[in-house]
Amino acid sequence: MAKANTPFYAILLVLCMSTAAQAEEPARVLAELKYNPEHSTRLKYRGLRITLSNKPVFISGRSEPDHYRLSVVGRHRNRLAFTMHVDDDYDSPPTPQPTVQVMWLDRTSPLPQIVFTHSEDGGNCCNNASIATMDAAGHWRVIETGGLQRDFKYEFLDLDGDGAAEMVSKGFFRYTNCAVYWCEGGFCVVTTIEKLIGRQLRDVSKAKRYRSFQRERLREAEDAADEERMHLNGFLAGWVAQKALAGELSDAWRTMLANYDHSEEDFPETLANDLRSSGFITPKEEDRIVLLSASRAARP
């Protein structure tokens, strides 16, 4: 156990030193379409014909288009299989560039998945992904993902070595009492892992088989933080959330109790509730850390 005068930053480093990194194999891209603002682009793959186009949309009757529609149309064996589109102001090249990639996200499907990554508001808002997948009966379905803040993008990594990529994303964990203007500089980034299973994109962030990967991402967040940030409640909230995903909740909670800014007296209670309501911890885990808080408060 660390002595009372051990710096908090040193404690964090010790907690993570023994964890072996989990292999991060990038998804194998089987085919890819790049965005071209001048004309449509097309690809063929195993009976699929996919077209990526950017077309003007006229609504107001003006000679100039109201906006542009970025579309992906897929045909399988000469029949319409799926469409994916986003309406936006794409009269200038968007950032990041929209792409269409063919890759395996679910190996139980007869064909690989088609992943359309794009941004909204010309890249000023959110980064999104749309996934077209076919079931065993030959029916196609498009699955929309939740948008990521513009500073983040989806990664497609085969984390468990099954030949199908997981969708990995980062985001800020904001607890209820966090004033955004104050917490922006103190957030700790948390990592979400999603896996396509049939027609559902499931959050598997807490699965034991991904814990070493979550610990590696935890180290990245800690390496980017200085000593001062380690005492900001905004950072601590996300740090505890990421530690929970790595299976280290109790240890994180004890460290947080010893280092949080006590001017916010209800911080531990609020954080425990937010972690549970956001799915980072279970009700039983919440009960356990509430007891840890009570035990510390009872000390003379």
Q: What is the pLDDT of residues 101-131, one digit of tens each?
A: 999 999 999 999 999 998 765 545 678 899 9
All CATH 2.40.128 domain ranges in the chain, comma separated? 28-148
Separation between Cα atoms, residue 247 and residue 40, nearest integer Å: 47
pLDDT at 10 over 50: no
270 beta partners: none
Mean pLDDT of 87-96: 56
Higher-confidence residue of 21 and 256: namely 256
How many Cβ atoms from other residues are within 10 Å of residue 140's Cβ? Answer: 17
User: In the prediction, which pLDDT does 8 show?
Assistant: 46
CA–CA dist 72, 50 (Å, integer)? 7
pLDDT band at 280 (very low <50, low <70, confident <90, very high): very high
Of 3 and 160, the one with more pLDDT: 160
Confidence of residue 93 (pLDDT cuts 50, 70, 90): low
Measure Cα distances from 195 to 76, 185, 202, 270 in Å.
24, 30, 5, 30
Residue 288 has pLDDT above 90, yes or no: yes
Which of residues 65 and 30 earns the better pLDDT score? 30
Q: Yes or no: say if 59 and 44 are a contact pair by the CB < 8 Å rule.
A: no
Name which of 3-7, 79-83, 245-249 the model is least confident about.
3-7
Q: Which amino acid is located at 18 in the chain?
A: S
Please give the order of strands across the beta sheet that includes 79-88.
Answer: 41-45, 48-57, 67-76, 79-88
**CATH topology for the 28-148 domain:** Lipocalin (2.40.128)
